[in-house]
Structure 1
């Protein structure tokens, strides 16, 4: 099990998520994207369609049908209706159920950094867990800091 903490500093989640989703689906895996706010999921849905003129990232939203066929599924719950083994928590809120997945991506910004630090500490003693902490520099590149 692997948990990657991503501190969004210079680009919003809408700019970062498509690249992560491409990497996950490019390996043949599926991704569940979770946020409590349906409006945020709607914005991400649009961004996943429009993020690049020369790319296509098939995805859908939970509750709209065809969930089982979606390589990327956006949802307000951690129910992997698309059989995903990877989950992206995109609203800055850690959920312990993310540990049920093979790999979890926890995205947070400056407003939720204290909660992310608490989540990081809460995972100290989880056996078999690999944690990584990534920070974005001014040029938008990711640097592993822990």
Structure 2
């Protein structure tokens, strides 16, 4: 199980998340995007349709029908009705339910950094979990820091 911590500083979630989602879909995987905020999920729904002029990320909102067929599913909790093995936690809150997936992407900003540090520490002592911490370097490029 791999957990990638993404500290959002220069690049906002609106730019970082679609790139991760593209990679998951290109590899043949499925993605569950989790946020406890209905407003944030609505925003991400619009974003995934229009984040780039030449791109489209097929997705749906949990409970709107056809959940099982969605390559990307937006949900309020970590229940993968689309059989995703990848999960993106986008509201800054770590959920241990993410450990039921093959890979977790935990996005957080400076406001949620203390909680992210606690999650990092808590996961450090668990067997079978590989943690990676990503920061933004020069020019906004993601660099692995740990």
What is the TM-score with the length of structure 1 in the denominator?
Answer: 0.98
Unmatched tracts of structure 1, length 5 or more: none
Q: Aligned partners of 2:80, 2:65: CA distance in 1, in Å?
A: 14
CA RMSD of aligned residues (A): 0.7
Unmatched tracts of structure 2, length 5 or more: none
Q: Using the TM superposition, name which of 102-111 and 135-144 deviates more.
A: 135-144
* 1:119-130 equivalent positions in 2, closer than 5 A: 119-130=119-130
Which residue does the alignment assign to 1:113? 113
Tell whether 2:98 aligns with 1:98.
Answer: yes
- What is the deviation of 1:138? 4.7
Which residue does the alignment assign to 1:65? 65
Work out the number of aligned pairs and report it: 146
Structure 1 segments (4+ residues) deviating >6 Å = none
Tell whether 2:137 aligns with 1:141.
Answer: no
Q: Aligned partners of 1:122, 1:72: CA distance in 2, in Å?
A: 28
Could you tell me whether the CA contact under 8 Å between 1:89 and 1:107 is conserved in 2? yes
Q: Aligned partners of 2:88, 2:119: CA distance in 1, in Å?
A: 15
Which residue does the alignment assign to 1:39? 39
